[in-house]
Amino acid sequence: MTQDLVRSLFAAEFDNSILDRMDDSATFELEGRLAFTTDCHVVSPYFFPGGDIGRLALTGTVNDLAMTGAFPLYVAAGFIIEEGFPRESLGRIARSMQEAAAEARVQVVAGDTKVVERGAADGIFITTSGLGLVPPGVNITGSAASPGDVVILSGTVGDHGVAVMSRREGMRFETAIESDCAPLGELVRRMLSASDRVRVLRDPTRGGLAAALNEIAASSGVAIEIDEASLPLKPEVGAACEVLGLDPLTLANEGKLVAMVDPEDAGRVLAAMKTSPMGAAAAVIGTVERADRPRVYVRTAAGSRRALMMPSGEQLPRIC
């Protein structure tokens, strides 16, 4: 039955010449510097406005590769499925995953499927690993932020976190709030074509922008100040955060990136980002400063400055 499931559903959906060999591992030839990543996905619910666990798993992995400047190429996927999980829902997830793979221009070339007894898993969990190729001369890392760098955010914050929470809690808003779940490889390619001085890229997933900025500040030994008034935020997301008592700066995003760019190239990079649907709402939100110890600040609308700390708890468990 497992063989039938693999061949009739997964192999049919992810059909490509490498996977079709059905070997114990995928084989291919590559030359150059490689990027490799892995991630687990346990989001609840597994269908939410703007996406599902399949799209989330694929885009989350290719985006992690893109944040090193790599061109994502291949993905492997592992599925842990609870006994009784509807086959129709599984097919919908696999189809969504393949559609995201086509958008990202990657192939799912290997995988594994395990079915566990009822109660041993909550519906479905997915683990993905990805492999990408880093172009010559590209050296993007979280430890490369330099005083004077400009901080650019690719779009609105908090969309994914609010979309998942609204579905989980059965909330309804006047305007539909959808997850921003999307592959970012093409956006990164446009940024790197505009400048070879993009120093840092990070996708603010769990812990949101607050976690991403604190991680970069710690790795680079700098201070980062962002301007609250410059942050792209959809009015409906802001209103939902007020109702729910959430901070949009700590909410997960699944289709956004934050970049540290040399100030002389920031204008060109921002213009290049705005040519992509994934960067249409991109904005300069702050600067990198010299500091005796790593820290992140927010310049408030009132003109004061407050510390933006690393989130100390998970506001929304099973968000991705």
What is the residue extent of each domain of the chain?
A: 2-134, 150-307
Q: Kindly report the average pLDDT of the chain as a whole number.
A: 94
pLDDT of 301 strictly over 90: no
Per DSSP, the three-state class of 175 is coil
Which tokens sit at 109? 């070339």
CA separation for the pair 287, 7 (Å, rounded): 51
Residues sharing a CB contact under 8 Å with residue 46, sequence separation 6 or more, in sequence order: 52, 53, 89, 93, 123, 124
pLDDT one-digit tens code per residue, 158-200: 999 999 988 877 776 666 789 999 999 999 999 999 999 999 9
**Fold agreement (2-134, 150-307):** no
CATH number of 2-134: 3.30.1330.10
The helix (H) or strand (E) run that includes residue 47 is strand 47-48
pLDDT one-digit tens code per residue, 257-281: 999 999 999 999 999 999 999 999 9
Alpha carbon of 172 to those of 3, 28, 167, 236, 317: distances in Å? Answer: 41, 47, 8, 11, 20
pTM of the model: 0.93
The helix (H) or strand (E) run that includes residue 271 is helix 266-273
Alpha carbon of 83 to those of 2, 11, 122, 186: distances in Å? Answer: 12, 20, 10, 38
CATH number of 150-307: 3.90.650.10
Q: Is 188 exposed, middle or buried (0-12, 13-18, 19+ CB in 10 A)?
A: buried
The helix (H) or strand (E) run that includes residue 161 is helix 159-168
* pLDDT band with cut points at 50, 70 and 90 for residue 115: very high
Residues sharing a CB contact under 8 Å with residue 48, sequence separation 6 or more, in sequence order: 163, 164, 167, 168, 179
